[in-house]
Amino acid sequence: MRYDSQNVRRQSPPIHFGALPAMRRFADRILSAQSARGIAVSSLLLLVVVAAMDYVSGDELSFSIFYLIPVAVSAWYAGRRSGMVACLVCAATWFAVERSSGQVYSHAAIPYWNAAVRLGFFLIVTQLLARLRLALSTQTSLAQRDGLTGIMNARAFRMNYPALARLSLRQRQPMALAFLDVDGFKGVNDTLGHGVGDQLLKTVAATLVARLRASDLVARLGGDEFVLLLPATDLAGARTFFARIRESLLEVAEQNGWPIGFSIGVAVFHSPPTDATAASDHADQLMYQVKQSGKNNILFEEYPGPSHPS
């Protein structure tokens, strides 16, 4: 048979390095969903595998970097304290494997010195990873929060909406989406000052949050506009809820002497669009109709089937 190297190369399956990020994301989802105890068990299993490979391979192959894996997993997913425990266990295991290999040293204290250095290195890595994870979590949270009111911003709402819409479709439950605009907000800013305007927005946000269920979402879209998402809410439930919300907001406004009202457009979907913009357009149009017809009111519209903006 004639050997054709070109044919062999063409028939060989390509190596898809693009699969590596997907594998990393999969591992991240699995580990992120585990409890601290689950992370400890996973780290211990990783350590057992690394130690076994280190022991079988003997002195010629170095496995030093692999001992970092259980340490990194513990520090990143379970926090600094769990990472420090993993440091001690990994350093002790490495020391035990090294002693059992029968390696001879010029001085009896050298193995203990090596173990102490490794432990110190592990601890430094743990501190760095724990601080990096905390900083990343803080920045992620800040990026999804409105700087003034502390509730979700528009970006966070757009990120969270699709999952709730798909859940509503799977469970065949209605969902209410509302746009709320503060009537007269510009006048408050102009006559009472921006400080009072900021306090007004904070008060509105706090009032909305206090009335929402744990499953509901509220976000500030910018300026004096807010969006509310209520899963498992039909038209009757939406009418009751937003009537109470508007009543509470007007009561707070009166108590503070703010000459404002609230225009609210509420779209109730039985088959909600999975795109946040498509769904928001309906509620936004309803709110605009309220403002055009005199402001300070609520307009409801029910969409029994799949809806898309014209």
Ordered DSSP codes for 173-226: --EEEEEEEEETHHHHHHHH-HHHHHHHHHHHHHHHHHHS-TT-EEEEEETTEE
- What pLDDT does 310 receive? 37
- Whole-prediction pTM value? 0.61
12-21 per-residue burial string, b: 16 or more CB within 10 A, e: under 16: eeeeeeeeee
Which distant-in-sequence residues (6+ apart) come within 8 Å of 181 by Cβ?
A: 224, 225, 226, 262, 263, 264, 287, 291
- What pLDDT does 142 receive? 65
Cα Rg, the chain, nearest whole Å: 29
Q: Where are the alpha helices (DSSP H) in the chain?
A: 5-11, 19-32, 36-57, 68-78, 80-100, 110-143, 154-171, 185-192, 194-211, 235-256, 276-292
Rounded to whole angstroms, the Cα distance separating 136 from 118 reads 27
- Diameter of the chain by CA atoms? 95
- What pLDDT does 137 receive? 76
Rounded to whole angstroms, the Cα distance separating 300 from 177 reads 10
Which DSSP letter does residue 148 get? T
Read off the tokens for 196. 């009072």
Any idea which architecture 152-303 has in CATH? 2-Layer Sandwich (3.30)
Domain boundaries, the chain: 17-143, 152-303
- What pLDDT does 308 receive? 43
The SS3 of residue 50 is helix
pLDDT digits (tens, 9 = 90+) for 149-176: 999 999 999 999 999 999 999 999 999 9
Question: With a cut of 70, which residues of the chain have pLDDT below it?
Answer: 1-20, 141-142, 305-310
- What pLDDT does 20 receive? 58
CB 246 within 8 A of CB 264: yes
CB 242 within 8 A of CB 218: no
